[in-house]
Amino acid sequence: MNRLIAVVLVLATCLPLPWTNADEPDASRLRQHVTKLASSEFQGRREAGAIKARSYLIDEFTKLGLQPLFGGSFTQNVTGKGPEDVIGVNLGARIIGSDPSQADHWVILGAHYDHLGRQGALIYPGADDNASGVAMMLEVARTIARSPVKPRRSIAFVGFDLEERGPKGEFGLRGSQFFARNPPMALDKIALFVTADMIGRSLGGVLETTAFVLGSEHEPEVRPWINKAAEGKPVKLALLGSDMLVIDRSDYGPFRSRKIPYLFFTTGESPVYHSPLDVPETIDYPKLEAISRIIAGIVREALDGPVVPVWSAVPDYPLAEAVAVRDVLQTLLFHKEAFAIGGYQIALMNQTIKTIDEIERRGTMTSAERTRIARTAQVIMFTVF
Ligand SMILES: [Zn+2]
């Protein structure tokens, strides 16, 4: 054998294999998960349907050879008033990092699996909300579990229960709140918490190529990871400050309040949000695939890269955020009749667009301007959707 070929062969068997397309989250697998989880058999993933969803996730975790996250169990009972009052069940699996000096650092990839259940004969399938996020989590888990290169740091995959609302219909996030109060790892060892809620459609049904990422204002060092992972993907990421949503809209809330670096991915409220029409057939699978691949790239960087994100108390709002808001406002204005956007809102939106034009020309943004842009975003989110 030629010596050079021999060296190449030896190297090829020793070196970590590069990521190949086959290792990436895949649209047809994502579709399978969404179709199953949002089928009538799962009854909107509440009560009897939630029990089916739990079995499905545990089966998938087991097939991937993942370890249970909660002291030998894939389940964590979410309790209410006392230890006997079980109101829900979180699910979790893990891969322990291969680098002993890094294995106590954790990345958490979570998605809520519960939805609204049924009202009489009417089923709320929750394909976008949030079978799409769960499918992404399972696909990222598959690519990491099947990769010949084991991650340096540890990763937990978590399916949260009771995001939509508690057992008595009260405000949700009960599963993630319980998890953050009873974590299976030290909270200060969570390098990054990533969650996705509704990543298969588009805001208002019109921002077709846009996905929103919130949270990077507290750990701007992840932005190059996001940009790298998004390169060449058929989706435009709008990085927004979390304050634009006024309240915590998904499971990042309990992590945000504990100052744990987090990223929240969403394509926003579509016209079939929280309706029986949120069915698997109308999910944009190429978009879901692109977002899942971006999240896989970011998670991989957090697991293997030289640095772990550090929470920065003073949020950093880049000019790109203002530009992303302008894109959204312009698109909504283009469809103003369809959204029945009124005169006051149109004036506010046009004024804000002018301000952002000026900011872009100048290349700087004052904190007062940023506050006004965020207020406009809040008003529009509240009144248009
Ligand atoms: Zn949701």
Amino acid sitting at position 381: M
Q: In the structure, how many helices (H) and strands (E) does the chain have?
A: 11, 11
Q: How far is the CA of 128 from the centre of ligand 1 (A)?
A: 8
Q: So what's the pLDDT on residue 248?
A: 84
Torsion of CA 372, 248, 308, 22, to 10 degrees: -110
Q: How far is the CA of 269 from the centre of ligand 1 (A)?
A: 10
- 174 and 254 Cβ atoms separated by less than 8 Å: no
Full DSSP string of 79-108: ESSSTT-EEEEEEEEEE--S-TTTTT-EEE
Q: Select 16-304's CATH number: 1.10.3080.10, 3.40.630.10, 3.20.20.70, 3.30.420.40.
A: 3.40.630.10
- List pLDDT tens digits, range 201-241: 999 999 999 999 999 999 999 999 999 999 999 999 999 99
Place of tokens 């002993």: 100
- Residue 118's H or E segment, with its range, is strand 118-119
Q: How far is the CA of 351 from the centre of ligand 1 (A)?
A: 32
Q: Which residues surround ligand 1, an ion (CB under 5 A)?
A: 129-130, 197
**CA atoms lying within 13 Å on the CB side of residue 3:** 0
**CA atoms lying within 13 Å on the CB side of residue 12:** 6
Q: How far is the CA of 257 from the centre of ligand 1 (A)?
A: 19
Q: How far is the CA of 91 from the centre of ligand 1 (A)?
A: 16
Q: How far is the CA of 103 from the centre of ligand 1 (A)?
A: 31
Q: What percent of the chain has pLDDT over 90?
A: 86
Q: How far is the CA of 130 from the centre of ligand 1 (A)?
A: 5
- List pLDDT tens digits, range 298-352: 999 999 999 999 999 999 999 999 999 999 999 999 999 999 998 999 999 999 9
- 271 and 320 Cβ atoms separated by less than 8 Å: no
At 246, is the pLDDT very low, low, confident or very high (cuts 50, 70, 90)?
Answer: confident
Q: So what's the pLDDT on residue 277?
A: 96
The chain-wide mean pLDDT, for the chain, equals 92
Alpha carbon distance 256, 301 (integer Å) = 21
Q: How far is the CA of 254 from the centre of ligand 1 (A)?
A: 15
Q: How far is the CA of 109 from the centre of ligand 1 (A)?
A: 15
Contacts of 171 (CB under 8 A, 6+ apart): 165
